[in-house]
Amino acid sequence: MTFTSSRLEHRRYDGSLLEVKDVTLQFGGVTALRGVNFTVEENELFAVIGPNGAGKTSIFNCLNGVYRPQEGSIRFQGVEIVGRRPPAIAQLGMARTFQNLGLFVNLNVIDNLMLGRHVRMRSGFLSGMAWVGRARNEEIANRRRVEEIIELLALQPFRYEPVGSLPYGIQKKIELGRALAMDPRILLLDEPVAGMNLGETEDMARLILEIRHELNLTMILVEHDLHMVMELADRLLVLDFGEPIALGGPAEVQANPRVIAAYLGSGET
């Protein structure tokens, strides 16, 4: 069995897969992000960390088009995406998960994952109703892809369970599965282990590595759990009050005095 995704043909582009340049985001007089710069390369696991309210989730919201930064540019596969609507950006191949789950609790696992396939569907409403031609073939292909994801995430025991009745740790996995169902080029994970116990956290960390390994996927991770991030990420960006204070590999960042100060308080107190 191999992953037979109906992946979109990859765009050709110069430079990095994702380039964020001088992004500044303000709400009225409050500056949420100021002068954020970073790039993410193909197949990289990039992490954004910082204390509460540092602007981590704001970056995600800028990337996937929910917020529009006042300044700066974000180029994804060479295309400027600032100003584009979230569905258009999703179509380009950016998928995300949410900190506090965005699943349809009354639908079962399959249906939730099939919804993730929606961006990859081409057939129209009428052919879908008549269940002929393209709609039928598409549905079968999509269902197959969903099964591949179910296998990857070991969700087999839960296929037809309403999502709302499942344990939190499983729901987090389903959320991840729905994002994967979009066949993204880049996956944004917003605190994938928030609220999980130790066992579930380890499970999720293993899964993230496996996904990266098997699907060759580029990921950006926003996380609170520093320990996990240091283990998983290739490079990190550290934010404090919306400003980038460090960027680099785990060892480098850990030794950075500004990071230590932001996390542990400055040495003088």
Site of interaction with other proteins (CB under 8 A): 1-3, 144, 147-148, 150-151, 154, 156-157, 159, 210, 213-214
Q: How far is the CB of 156 from other proteins (least distance, A)?
A: 4
Buried b (16+ CB within 10 A) or exposed e, 153-174: bebeebeeeebeebeebbbbbb
Q: Which is nearer to other proteins, 41 or 151 (CB)?
A: 151
Distances (CA, A) of 220 to 43, 107, 159, 194: 10, 28, 28, 16
Q: Which is nearer to other proteins, 150 or 187 (CB)?
A: 150
Q: How far is the CB of 210 from other proteins (least distance, A)?
A: 7
226's tokens: 């520093």
Q: Which is nearer to other proteins, 2 or 269 (CB)?
A: 2
CB 128 within 8 A of CB 122: no
Helix or strand or coil: residue 58? helix
Q: How far is the CB of 152 from other proteins (least distance, A)?
A: 9
Q: How far is the CB of 46 from other proteins (least distance, A)?
A: 21
Q: Which is nearer to other proteins, 43 or 254 (CB)?
A: 43
Q: Which is nearer to other proteins, 68 or 144 (CB)?
A: 144
Among residues 222, 178, 205, 216, the alpha carbon closest in space to that of 41 is found at 216
Cα 132 off chain centre by: 34
DSSP 161-194: SBGGGS-HHHHHHHHHHHHHTT--SEEEEE-TTT
Look at the block and give the residue holding tokens 């009745």: 165
Q: How far is the CB of 147 from other proteins (least distance, A)?
A: 4
